Chains A and B, each alone.
Chain A
Amino acid sequence: MTSPSGIAISDLNKAFGDTHVLKDISLEIAPGERVVVIGPSGTGKSTLLRSLNFLDRPDSGTIRVGDLSVDAAKASRGDILALRRRTSFVFQNYALFANKTARENITQALITVQGKSTADANARADAILRETGLADKANSYPAALSGGQQQRVGIGRAMALDADLMLFDEPTSALDPEWVGEVLDLMRRVAEKRQTMLIVTHEMQFAREIADRIIFMDGGHIVEQGPPSQLLEAPQDPRTKAFLRRVV
């Protein structure tokens, strides 16, 4: 028997007080699959991503990443840590550690969480900094980097973790337009490695290019999903049609 791979989310629910934000979300993601989530503002896209690593604690449902299965209602501190160690997260506002250099942002978790030696962690960080085009910024603090550079470090920090699932919550939305291109280019390179990715974005052209599947969310539900050609060219649900008319 082979151990399960990929990601399976079933019947995930999350409410903030009286606001029921995620309503019985179920979703499977195959290994190496790149899934893009789109949908109107306030619909629960961020909450979905943040529930998967318990930045927002879901109320019920199960989340399985590889052979680790966590029942949200009963998740222990250990379950949550285990889940976080199999996922990585790229934030809209970069969220780089302000007291750490670009290189330290990448090595931090490799050393403290994964227990790598400083030498190994530095070697990995330097390889990633070269790949992200930031080799000359290794010793810069976030405050001295442009938005685009900060987000590339943010993606590099997530790449270094070799997570089973990379989560991206609108990684280009906070950027000045001039920096969007370089961040999308880096994400394309990550996607080419067949890294499993779940991405919330408003960049439709980018989604069309790299997504294996696009999910349209509205009102806390997955309304419709399919390959980009199908979902973007021939949407079925009137809500999807209305949304696409507005954004494309």
Chain B
Amino acid sequence: MSALDFGYMWSLVPILLSYVPLTLFMALVGMAFALVLASAMAVERVFRVPVLDHFVRLFISFFRGTPLLVQLFLFYYGLPQVLSFMSGINGVSATIMGLTLHFSAYMAESIRAAIMGVDRSQWEAAQAVGMTQGQMMRQIILPQAARVAAPTLVNYFIDMIKGTSLAFTLGVTELMGATQKEAAGSFLYFEAFLVVAAIYWIMVEALAFGQRHLEVYLNKAHAR
């Protein structure tokens, strides 16, 4: 075994870091869309809207039941063949779409469970003071459910950041794709992937740090 080429690794750092914004962009946009979609589906699942409920359950079942990679290929390579308006889709959009739909299916189930876990007294009190269903959900139920769901949702966000690396398979030169190119040029695969692993790891650790602050904030109503 030969020694690691630290000089090469160090020289890769600024090159790979320049791809971090694209990775974060895909993960953040995907997370934002997924949160909205997942909340809407979770509320639907709680109230079981007739007809719509069947579609939501089918959606959740499909996107949880198939691999993310398969879904990405379906959106990027498959759908443009049957839907003409999809023909111009680029790899970044297809990745964001795939991440959104895939993770919203998981997140909908966690948010639904968190909503169902809010004590019955909270629903009844909101109803008793005359709130509409929308007011009750926005003001009382969802904020309390958010506190319960937050740690799980942050975990999904972490998975999503790592999931952006699959964009590489759609030909996007993002963090993973760039690493692959660098390594193919230098043949120093171990060094290159070690650097990219460290970059992902540091991003996730930074997020975990933020998570602890988020939890303190969300728990402030429960401190004695």
Residues of A within 8 A of B (CB): 53-55, 81, 84-85, 87-89, 91, 93-100, 108-109, 112-113, 141-144, 157, 161
* Cα distance, A85 to B122, chains bound together (Å): 17
Contact A113:B122 (CB < 8 A) given known A98-B144, A143-B224: no
The 9 A-B residue pairs with the shortest CB-CB distance in the complex, in nearest-first order: A109-B129, A95-B121, A89-B128, A85-B130, A95-B125, A84-B130, A141-B221, A113-B130, A99-B143
Instruction: State whether A53 touches B128 (Cβ < 8 A).
Output: yes
- The residues of A that contact B126 with a CB separation of less than 8 Å are 97
Instruction: State whether B129 touches A88 (Cβ < 8 A).
Output: yes
**B contacts with A, residue count (CB < 8 A):** 23
- The residues of B that contact A109 with a CB separation of less than 8 Å are 129-131
Tally of A-B residue pairs with Cβ under 8 A? 75
Instruction: State whether A55 touches B130 (Cβ < 8 A).
Output: no
Instruction: State whether B132 touches A81 (Cβ < 8 A).
Output: yes
Instruction: State whether A161 touches B129 (Cβ < 8 A).
Output: yes
Shortest beta-carbon distance, A171 to chain B, in Å? 13
* Cα distance, A98 to B219, chains bound together (Å): 11
Chain A facing B: main interface SS: loop
Instruction: State whether A141 touches B222 (Cβ < 8 A).
Output: yes
* Cα distance, A54 to B127, chains bound together (Å): 9
Identify B122's interface contact among A88, A98, A144, A161, CB under 8 A: A98
Shortest beta-carbon distance, A210 to chain B, in Å? 22
Q: Output the nearest chain A residue to B224 by Cβ-Cβ distance.
A: A144
* Cα distance, A113 to B139, chains bound together (Å): 12
Shortest beta-carbon distance, A160 to chain B, in Å? 9
Q: Output the nearest chain B residue to A161 by Cβ-Cβ distance.
A: B129
Q: Output the nearest chain B residue to A113 by Cβ-Cβ distance.
A: B130
Contact A84:B128 (CB < 8 A) given known A98-B144, A108-B139, A141-B222: yes
Q: Output the nearest chain A residue to B119 by Cβ-Cβ distance.
A: A98
- The residues of B that contact A89 with a CB separation of less than 8 Å are 125, 128-129
B86 CB within 8 Å of chain A: no
- The residues of A that contact B220 with a CB separation of less than 8 Å are 141
Count chain A CB atoms within 10 A of each CB in B128, B129, B132, B143 and give the residue with the most.
B129
Q: Output the nearest chain A residue to B138 by Cβ-Cβ distance.
A: A112
**Chain A proximity mask over B201-224: 1 for CB below 8 Å, otherwise 0:** 000000000000000000011111
